[in-house]
Amino acid sequence: MSLLDAAKTARENAYAPYSNFKVGAALRCASGHVYAGCNVENVAYPEGTCAEAGAIAAMVVAGDHKVVEAVVIADAPLPVTPCGGCRQKLAEFADADATIRMMTMGGESLTMTMAELLPGAFGTEHMENT
């Protein structure tokens, strides 16, 4: 299954009863494995958790820690970028040159490197004095 197909399949399983805004994400790791996630809303936290966070959690549970490529897809007029929190989470597991592709269900696409998506990401180099 392609990375795009994995993200589309995950999107279909999103639990979004409040916003009806379904998002799917899929990550390819250096190992070659693909992990997918979708957004999950609930009444106490209607904005829910993000698709990328779900995919990252599945990746870590499986023992992978190196993202080389990611796809995020939603039914929106413009490609949907990961939220700020998910950008930082992706930066934790992806090198600056990792490819992040954001897509719409209609086929619009925006591709950026991790460094372009989150310039100045907080990293371990910021903690060298501790």
Choice among 52, 69, 92, 125 that is catalytic:
52
108 part of the active site = no
Superfamily of domain 3-118: Cytidine Deaminase, domain 2 (3.40.140.10)
**DSSP-derived secondary structure for the chain:** --HHHHHHHHHHT-B-TTT---EEEEEEETTS-EEEEE-EEETTEEEEE-HHHHHHHHHHHTT---EEEEEEEESSSSPPPPPHHHHHHHHHHEEEEEEEEEEETTS-EEEEEHHHHSTT---GGGGTT-
In this prediction, residue 126 carries a pLDDT of 80
> How does pLDDT run across 20-49, given as a tens digit for each residue?
999 999 999 999 999 999 999 987 777 778
The answer to whether the pTM exceeds 0.95 is: no
In this prediction, residue 87 carries a pLDDT of 93
